[in-house]
Amino acid sequence: MPKIYQIIAVSVLSSVLCACVTQNYENNEENPVIEQSSSDDEIALTRISLAMGYLNMGNTTQAKLNLEKAKRFAPHLTKVYTAFAHYYDTVEEPEQAITAFEKALSLDADDADTLNNYGVFLCKQAAYDESEKYMLKAIAVPSYLQVSQSYENLALCQLENKRFDKAELYLAKSIAHSPANSSALFQMLRLQYAMGKYDEALLYLKRYEKSTRRFTPNALALAFKAYQKINNQKIAKNYAAMLVKMFPNSYESQQYILNGLQQVEADTLASQFVNLNKSKNNEPKKRVMVLSPNKKTGISLKAKPQSKNKLLENEKNTANQSLVNNTDNKDTVTDTKSTIKNKTTQTIGKALLTESLKPTSSVKTVEKNLDRKRDNSIASSLVGKVDSKVASNAKNKVEVLTSDNKNTQKEQYSSAKSLSKNSNSLAIPTHIIAKGEGLFTISKKYNIKMSQIERWNKIKRSEILNVGDVIYLADPKKAHKR
């Protein structure tokens, strides 16, 4: 990442150049003897400058030796520990780098250079939120002058985090603080191209060219691609000709000759932006589970549930009324059968949920009531209210429906029946999915492994849970009675 530790070298060199100079006259005023005296801090800064030079050349041994000497001269100098952090980062010792940064901030919590460099380091470690916090602290220091560079660092860090909106905001702030910052202008050109804003990208291209007054292979290739996107082939070819002529040995030039620059570096960023938007658009909308669509009963999870017999009676009356109103149409009987089937299945589900919330109820009692009410009432209520032929067809279809509902009922009650060898009440701990919850949240909340929750509920980790879903928190086959 650019400009990571520029400030260290600049501040060190400026401090070294400001060493104290005195003049002494020994018996001859015309020939003064110039003496230079340096404080311990100035000597430490000189050692830091030497260490950074050795580090850039790859001589880590001499770099650390000079840093240790700087520490002996000025153990309380913030820049000493910032330089140590840079050294540890270079030799890939992130834990020690963090310790050095924390030590520097303990000596001066408002040192903007240290805050900025710490933020850049944290971004490299993918700690994006912490990185943003420290760099914004550096920008907030009133005496800090490198605001534009810090905003640019923030933008680049957000791009690594795939936060294109924040990257665009911080680049705009960087350019506002330094309109001639060619690096920020080029990054904004690259970002606008990736986001598909080609007209705006070309505006920043012109500002970049005016600011830098020189060309690079990357910039020429990106200009070529941007003009191609707006179908201005003439200008696009001009940029391609400049690329091949000025940088014939560059990677971009070779790619243009081979395949017409089908893919440049900014296209990779554009693909990331497109995929990110697709994933957001394809996210399934969360459905709200309605436990009871019957407005008359008004049953919901928080409402006081009615008795199972009353529920079945209401559903039966609704089905009967639907058949009476449509006796002249055979197709209507088929639709009514579907309505009865759906509502009976919903009633079974509501009864099961009610029993899971009321530990004193019996699974076998519920099953008996459901079978008796469904088998004896639904078919008989149809007879006499429609003509004999329609009634006969309806009765046959209700018998098929009854068989289907029995199978559905047995599947929904299978896990509950396996827990109830006697007529005692069940003791299966459950959790009802709320908004924003998933398997990971439930696992942490109840200190249960996700694999166990998946096995107990016969679900996969990739499945989407809906609001209102009931999740077992224990093995239904081995749950103990209360």
Domain ranges of the chain: 179-283, 288-426, 428-482
Alpha-carbon dihedral angle through residues 456, 457, 460, 462, given to the nearest 10 degrees: -130
Contacts with 175 (C-beta within 8 Å, 6 or more apart), sequence order: 148, 181, 184, 185, 188
Instruction: Compute how many other C-beta atoms are within 10 angstroms of the C-beta atom of residue 477.
Output: 9
Looking at residue 104, its pLDDT comes to 94
Contacts with 268 (C-beta within 8 Å, 6 or more apart), sequence order: none
Range 179-283 classified under CATH 1.25.40.10: yes
Structural element, H or E, at residue 315? helix 308-324
Phi, psi (deg, nearest 5) at residue 468: 100, -10
Looking at residue 287, its pLDDT comes to 55
Looking at residue 360, its pLDDT comes to 41
Q: pLDDT tens digits for 226-252?
A: 999 999 999 999 999 999 999 999 999
Looking at residue 461, its pLDDT comes to 76
Percent of the chain exceeding pLDDT 70 equals 61
Q: pLDDT tens digits for 267-308?
A: 999 999 999 888 777 665 555 454 444 444 343 334 444 444
Looking at residue 151, its pLDDT comes to 96
Half-sphere exposure of 404 (CA within 13 A, CB side): 14
Tokens of 248: 């014939």
Q: pLDDT band at 376, cuts 50/70/90?
A: very low
Are the C-beta atoms of residues 321 and 343 closer than 8 Å to each other? no
Looking at residue 309, its pLDDT comes to 53
Write down how long the chain is.
Answer: 482
Over range 46-74, report the average pLDDT. 93
Half-sphere exposure of 48 (CA within 13 A, CB side): 33
Over range 92-114, report the average pLDDT. 94
pLDDT at 107 over 50: yes
Over range 298-326, report the average pLDDT. 48
Residues 49 and 67: their CA atoms lie apart, in Å, by: 9
Residue 421: Cβ-neighbour burial (10 angstroms; 0-12, 13-18, 19+): exposed
Looking at residue 305, its pLDDT comes to 46
pLDDT at 454 over 50: yes
Phi, psi (deg, nearest 5) at residue 76: -110, 15
Average pLDDT over the chain, rounded to whole? Answer: 74
Q: pLDDT tens digits for 145-189?
A: 999 999 999 999 999 999 999 999 999 999 999 999 999 999 999
| Homologous superfamily of 428-482 | LysM domain (3.10.350.10)
